[in-house]
Amino acid sequence: MKKDLGLVQAVYPMPVLMVAAYDENDKVNVMNVAWGQICDDDKIILFIGEGKRTWLNIKASRAFTVALADKAHMDVADYFGIASGNKINDKFERTGYHAVKSDKVNAPIIEEFPVVMECELLEFLHTDYVDGIVGKIVNVKAEEAILSENGKVDPEKLNALMFDQFQNGYYVTGEKVGKAWNAGAALMKKS
């Protein structure tokens, strides 16, 4: 029997995305965003509230990067979520991490995170209920160490973080338990 839990943000898993952008002086800022998702073959949406330092930077630069956080960098990924760029002027510098300018968009790539999407700003969404940033993914870069033999990202090597809003925990991906567009194929044949 199910028990009522009340209002709970009950989507699991949530991604742990590192969103980075330059300010007007080419200073790097990074934000941890769990509320984001791919919304088309070449588009991503991030639900970031207006006025956040990253939101302001994306508005000014018209570009950003989105990296997948991994287990090896969990402490800094969490710090990017709890520290505000509006309150801590040297937020990025405190980590000792390294950024290089993307060769595709006007945004920083944080070298320590293994997978990064380079994005151009398409639009800001603002309704009575939602604020969002839609970006066009123009390129994806990944460390060779996390690629499989076919040249694609291997989730078992990536150890991507997942955020859990039930217990406020981080978990990692890894074990493959089935093949997509195949595990349910037998049900297609039933009449």
Residue ranges of the domains in the chain? 14-188
Question: For domain 14-188, which architecture applies?
Answer: Roll (2.30)
- For position 191, what pLDDT does the model report? 67
Mean pLDDT of the chain: 94
pLDDT at 181: 85
Q: What is the pTM of this model?
A: 0.93
> Is the preceding omega at residue 13 within 30 degrees of 0, hence cis?
yes
pLDDT at 22 over 70: yes
Judged by average pLDDT, the poorest of 26-30, 38-42, 49-53, 162-166 is: 49-53
Best CA proximity match to 64, nearest among 120, 123, 128, 26: 120
In this predicted structure, the answer to whether residue 145 has a pLDDT above a threshold of 70 is yes
pLDDT of 106 strictly over 90: yes
DSSP labels, 121-138: EEEEEE-SS-EEEEEEEE
